[in-house]
């Protein structure tokens, strides 16, 4: 049995260490060459893997790239657990900005493929968004436990404001979020919203 790779606080990976390596190579080549010019041949050659191995796991370029992006995110999406709500949100915001900033063009390419494939859309939901939501939920639950916010101030439907806005900035505009953007978002928007039912 293969032992799944697991970074501290992150969800367990569905891939073996060797598969994670292949996905890591894919992500590197994507950043270097972009989605359009990435070939499965180049991934196989760089990773010294057989093409059969690649195709068996990921039958299309879109699936390989999607898996590489999700795995890359899983590895950096670590629960910050800094001891305060503000600290946790700042940390998450920094993580997300760095990650979506680095992979903005990959995300754009993957989106295009997702709109063409129901299978990829389902994978996005199960493998990516559900995981991110669980992380945000534990950050907020701890803040409620510490008495920093009221549970009633949490709007379930808007759980993805922080990652959503930061992703929008990197992927849909030319204004990648700065460290200051994250700080303003936390101090001027998210904390005032989450503490609006306090005392």
* Least distance between a second copy and beta carbon 103 (Å): 12
Closer to a second copy by Cβ: residue 76 or 172 = 172
Residue 193 within binding range of a second copy, rule CB under 8 A: yes
- CB neighbours of residue 74 within 10 Å: 24
116: tokens are 């063409």
* Least distance between a second copy and beta carbon 196 (Å): 4
Window 25 to 84, contacts with a second copy (CB under 8 A) = none
Find the binder of a second copy among 84, 137, 168, 179 (CB under 8 A). Answer: 168
Stretch that binds a second copy, among 3-11, 52-60, 76-84, 184-192 (CB under 8 A): 184-192
Find the binder of a second copy among 76, 134, 141, 172 (CB under 8 A). Answer: 172
CB of 93 within 8 A of CB of 179?
no
Q: Where are the beta strands (DSSP E) in 64-154?
A: none
Closer to a second copy by Cβ: residue 8 or 180 = 180
Q: Which of 59, 66, 5 is nearest to 35 (CA)?
A: 66
Phi, psi of 137 (to 5 degrees): -60, -40
What length does the chain have?
Answer: 199
How far apart are the C-alpha atoms of 45 and 40, rounded to whole Å?
9
Residue 129 within binding range of a second copy, rule CB under 8 A: yes
CB of 97 within 8 A of CB of 176?
yes
Q: Which of 185, 170, 169, 92 is nearest to 132 (CA)?
A: 92
Residue 164 within binding range of a second copy, rule CB under 8 A: yes
Interface ranges with a second copy (CB under 8 A)? 104-105, 108-109, 111-112, 115, 121, 124-125, 129, 153, 155, 157-158, 160-161, 164-165, 167-169, 171-174, 178, 180-181, 184-185, 188-190, 192-193, 196
């Amino acid at each position: 049995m293969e032992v799944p790779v697991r970074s501290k606080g992150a969800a367990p990976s569905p891939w073996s260490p060797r598969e994670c390596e292949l996905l890591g190579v894919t992500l590197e080549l994507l950043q270097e060459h972009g989605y359009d010019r990435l070939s499965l041949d180049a991934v196989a050659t760089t990773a010294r893997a057989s093409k059969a191995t690649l195709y068996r796991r990921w039958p299309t370029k879109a699936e390989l790239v999607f898996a590489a992006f999700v795995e890359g995110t899983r590895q950096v999406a670590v629960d910050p657990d800094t001891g305060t709500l503000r600290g946790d949100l700042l940390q998450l915001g920094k993580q997300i900005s760095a990650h979506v900033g680095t992979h903005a063009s990959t995300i754009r390419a993957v989106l295009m493929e997702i709109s063409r494939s129901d299978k990829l859309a389902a994978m996005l939901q199960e493998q990516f968004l559900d995981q991110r939501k669980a992380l945000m939920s534990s950050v907020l639950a701890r803040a409620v436990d510490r008495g920093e916010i009221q549970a009633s101030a949490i709007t379930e439907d808007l759980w993805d404001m922080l990652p959503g806005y930061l992703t929008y900035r990197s992927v849909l505009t030319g204004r990648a979020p700065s460290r200051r953007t994250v700080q303003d978002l936390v101090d001027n928007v998210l904390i005032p919203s989450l503490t609006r039912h306090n005392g």
